[in-house]
Structure 1
Amino acid sequence: MPTYYNEEFETLPRQALEALQLKRLQSVIERVYSNVPFYRDSFNKNGVSPANITSLDDLQCLPFTTKQDMRDSYPYALFAAPMEEIVRIHASSGTTGKPTVVGYTLKDIETWTDLMARSFVAAGVHKGDIIHNAYGYGLFTGGLGAHYGAERLGASVIPISGGNTKRQIMIMQDFGSTVLTCTPSYSLFMAEEAGVEGVDFKKLKLRVGIFGAEPWSEEMRREIEEKLNLDAIDIYGLSEIMGPGVAIECIEAKQGLHIWEDHFIPEIINPETGKRLAPGEKGELVITTITKQGIPLIRYRTRDITSLTYDTCKCGRTHARIARMSGRSDDMLIIRGVNVFPSQIESILVGIEGVEPHYLLIVDRKDNLDTLQVQVEVDERLFSDEVKVLQVLSRRIEKEIKDMLGVTCTVKLVEPKTIQRSEGKAKRVVDNRKL
């Protein structure tokens, strides 16, 4: 029998769910129109006002919000609540080095906590579990999002964060961890390290893994389940919308991620035209937050490519399901849970003397962890210099990328004119991962 965290809301009939959505949508539209100049100006420019929103279909009349809008509003211009009501600030990397900033009121934290607890239950987690939380803590939303949800559920949480893999394996053995939360690639790296250490995951107590923050495939799921001896569950979230817990697979079906429609309204659009697509059609996911207070977002373009289904799942939950993400409509890379745009790398490179404006990012997956190599041309004078000078330059670029973007890379300096030129859009990325 399925178990629910909040059965009333998770199994609401479609008509009742849509009535709740409309009521909350109208409320949030009033709120942003009154409190956020960006939305008031945007709505007025498009000839719409809160009074025009009389049905869920009217959502299509409203303009989109984009990541660029968030950058342009850095840091707090999109906040709908005064700073004295903001109790938490998270952020994700932006293309110019400045992050996109999100603020949470106390009520937002409560909502997020509840939705993470709801997500844990959908994944088969219960009060008696010991949750080994290896998501990163800090400005990244993963660690604290999972942490609060685990505590709300009443489970025991181990806030170990990422890194120090040998110690992680020892803790899982000694503390009797039953649930693992981390990126899917890190879970496989753990499995390899455990093999080196002579630790058999089949002898651990792990039974559920909740994996997100980076793209992964069904093939990778099968590999994780075999090597770690657990049920691997896909979770989806993004810091702009809330953090982890926007959507999750249920353990009963593992066929699409339930998006919690009492808090988020999902749409699928054609990324080129912006027109809404029918259920089952693949396109870009757009999300409207209908309960957030700190920074509500209206028709936010996630750039994630997926599809929606409204069929009732065998678990009994009535909320729509999104398919596993199959790519992005922009050039963003996700490397070990960190969002990286080629333009971010470029902004670092152009400030370094002797480096040419021609570069190539090569992404791969080695020993089940994502790797990033930055190939960059240097000028003739520098390339003919002694090896020591080139080594110093490589290390400097690696350090600046790590400091600015939080991602580890290796830099390969190459001769001028060796990176292929293009007559059209420059090819900046080679992604060799099998996702």
Structure 2
Amino acid sequence: MHHFNVPTRDPGEYLAELNSRRFEKLKRQIAYLWGNEDYFRPRFIAAGVTSPDDIRSFDDFRALPPFMDKASHRASQEESLARYGHPFGLHLTAPLKDVIHLAATSGTTGQPTWYAFTRKDQAITNEILARLFAVAGVRPGDTTFHAFGLSLWLAGITFMQALEAYGARPVAVGAEGGISKILRYIEMTRPRALFATPSLVAQLIERAPDEIGKPVGALGIEILFCSGEPGVGLPAFRDRVTEAYGARIFDVTGGAWHNGTISCGTGWHGMHHLAEDYCFRYDLVDPVTRAPIELKDGAVGEALHTALDYEAAPAFRNATGDILRLHVGECPSCGQFGSRIEIIGRADDMLNVKGVKVYPSALQDIVTGFLPHVSGQLRIRLDGPPPRVNPPLKVVVEAAETMPADEWDGLARAIEQRSRDILALRPAVTVVPFGTLPRSNQKTKLVEIVPAQS
């Protein structure tokens, strides 16, 4: 595990030292962003800042409002395309000629969100991802298998290049290759580590016996490196997968604006933040008022993301929409002292069912707790756009392949009661046959909007 050489094991003193170090970098980054007259300087001025020197402390920085969210990011891109002929945003702070690598979101809204990298940005990204690879036990010289989407996603080419820079040998089939090809190529190349979403990892368990005539546990995979969606933090899912593969599983985020977090693989007590020196990932604010929340062990809020050394279109007080819980102290699993984050949900995913607020991931946690009686697949079906939901909240749960149909009703009632006990919400659960709900090789969307029939 990477250490940041903070000479204390007191959580408050630990954060105070990191915040002091962060502010030294922030002063340079603020002066750098002030030079961007198209995007950043107007936002500083709107926040009452007349000069970079006005921000005299870490608390002054945290008092600033968010400077960007998904909507303003995309608006910035549209404006730069109209004004300058490129889609990388008015917030691009490096010369376009210095941008040498690109990544993007999937663009499900019709317009991708771009991430631009200078050579320095990419080098730091490679360094941070290398820290994650090392924690997972990936070694230089290892064959790894890449089953994340390869397109422009951050977990695609960005991860691939970082693996090669690290000295690993990635097999770049990608999620686009499909389950059959992925299994055949894994059987052929015998990788130590598999990089994939939890959904795809689970699909391989289901499909391997029919596709290659053997279980996934016979493929010799030792490391499962997962990202992109919830799953690894759920004990029932983690137990099922580690037993099927005979491998250790790691929950990971990273690639965007020098972020890098990973679970320790000996349990799940949040993800260790391994980019404290390059990225302020847990700047927590109230998701409604956007007022700063005191940073301490157990704090919960929406995360604002700031990259401390980024050159090309950096995140600066970027409202991520992620609702995080911050842990500071010794990890109960591995003993590492430091900060860990737990992603509770997304501010824009929260459902409000007659005053009861619930995140889809919380329902997924409950349903997964019924393995092996369920497959782990579920969908939350709404009559209209969230967040407001007219009760009951409709949840479709897929039975395990071996679950007798005459036991489905009892299973549904048990899931409803567990939800009532934990979430103070009783959904209307319908159990459907194994294989009913479509699988995804990439991120699985838990919420579907199915308008009520008139």
Whether the TM-score (by the shorter chain) exceeds 0.5 is yes
Question: Which of 113, 131, 144 is the matching residue for 1:131?
Answer: 144
Q: What residue identity is the alignment partner of 1:66?
A: D
User: RMSD of aligned C-alpha atoms?
Assistant: 3.4
Map of 1:426 onto structure 2: none
Map of 2:309 onto structure 1: 291
- Measure how far apart 1:408 and its partner are: 10
**1:352-400 deviation digits (Å, cap 9, x = unpaired):** xxxxxxxxxx9968699xxxxxxxxxxxxxxxxxxxxxxxxxxxxxxxx
Change (3 A) 1:273 1:87: same
3-state SS of 1:126 partner: coil
The yes-or-no answer on 1:311 pairing with 2:320 is: no
Map of 1:55 onto structure 2: 57
Change (3 A) 1:99 1:233: same
Question: Which of 87, 105, 114 is the matching residue for 2:118?
Answer: 105
Question: Which of 232, 244, 251 is the matching residue for 1:227?
Answer: 244
Distance 2:154 2:19 in 1: 29
The yes-or-no answer on 1:211 pairing with 2:213 is: no
Map of 1:45 onto structure 2: 46
- Measure how far apart 1:253 and its partner are: 5.4
- Measure how far apart 1:12 and its partner are: 4.0
Map of 1:261 onto structure 2: 276
Distance 1:129 1:258 in 2: 23
Whether the aligned pair in 2 keeps the contact of 1:81 and 1:294 (CA below 8 Å) is yes
Map of 1:142 onto structure 2: 155
Whether the aligned pair in 2 keeps the contact of 1:38 and 1:78 (CA below 8 Å) is yes
Q: What residue identity is the alignment partner of 2:38?
A: P
Question: Which of 50, 70, 73 is the matching residue for 2:73?
Answer: 70
The alignment's TM-score, normalised by the length of structure 1, stands at 0.71
Whether the aligned pair in 2 keeps the contact of 1:268 and 1:277 (CA below 8 Å) is yes
**1:231-282 deviation digits (Å, cap 9, x = unpaired):** 111011474x35xx52111235542112211111121222112122232122
Whether the aligned pair in 2 keeps the contact of 1:125 and 1:179 (CA below 8 Å) is yes
Change (3 A) 1:230 1:365: farther
Distance 1:167 1:196 in 2: 13
Map of 1:322 onto structure 2: 341
Change (3 A) 1:150 1:128: same
Change (3 A) 1:181 1:365: farther
Change (3 A) 1:224 1:90: same
Distance 2:18 2:93 in 1: 25
Distance 2:399 2:200 in 1: 10
Distance 2:156 2:396 in 1: 25
Map of 1:34 onto structure 2: 35
Map of 2:169 onto structure 1: 156
- Measure how far apart 1:19 and its partner are: 3.7
Distance 2:224 2:399 in 1: 19
3-state SS of 2:225 partner: strand
Q: What residue identity is the alignment partner of 1:206?
A: I
Distance 2:321 2:147 in 1: 26
Distance 2:39 2:260 in 1: 25
Distance 1:96 1:213 in 2: 17
The alignment's TM-score, normalised by the length of structure 2, stands at 0.69
Change (3 A) 1:82 1:12: same
Whether the aligned pair in 2 keeps the contact of 1:129 and 1:178 (CA below 8 Å) is yes
Whether the aligned pair in 2 keeps the contact of 1:124 and 1:250 (CA below 8 Å) is no
Whether the aligned pair in 2 keeps the contact of 1:180 and 1:209 (CA below 8 Å) is yes
Distance 1:218 1:366 in 2: 19
Change (3 A) 1:84 1:412: closer
The yes-or-no answer on 1:190 pairing with 2:204 is: yes
Map of 1:251 onto structure 2: 265
Distance 2:335 2:30 in 1: 31
Q: What residue identity is the alignment partner of 2:239?
A: R
- Measure how far apart 1:199 and its partner are: 1.3
Distance 2:169 2:148 in 1: 16
Whether the aligned pair in 2 keeps the contact of 1:91 and 1:102 (CA below 8 Å) is yes
Distance 1:52 1:142 in 2: 38
- Measure how far apart 1:148 and its partner are: 2.1
Question: Runs in 1 of length 4+ with deviation above 6 angstroms?
Answer: 362-368, 406-409, 411-414
Whether the aligned pair in 2 keeps the contact of 1:12 and 1:318 (CA below 8 Å) is no
Map of 2:190 onto structure 1: 176
Distance 2:146 2:62 in 1: 39
Question: Which of 59, 83, 98 is the matching residue for 1:85?
Answer: 98
3-state SS of 1:306 partner: strand
Unaligned runs of 5+ in 2: 8-13, 78-86, 351-359, 362-380, 386-393, 401-442
Change (3 A) 1:365 1:166: farther
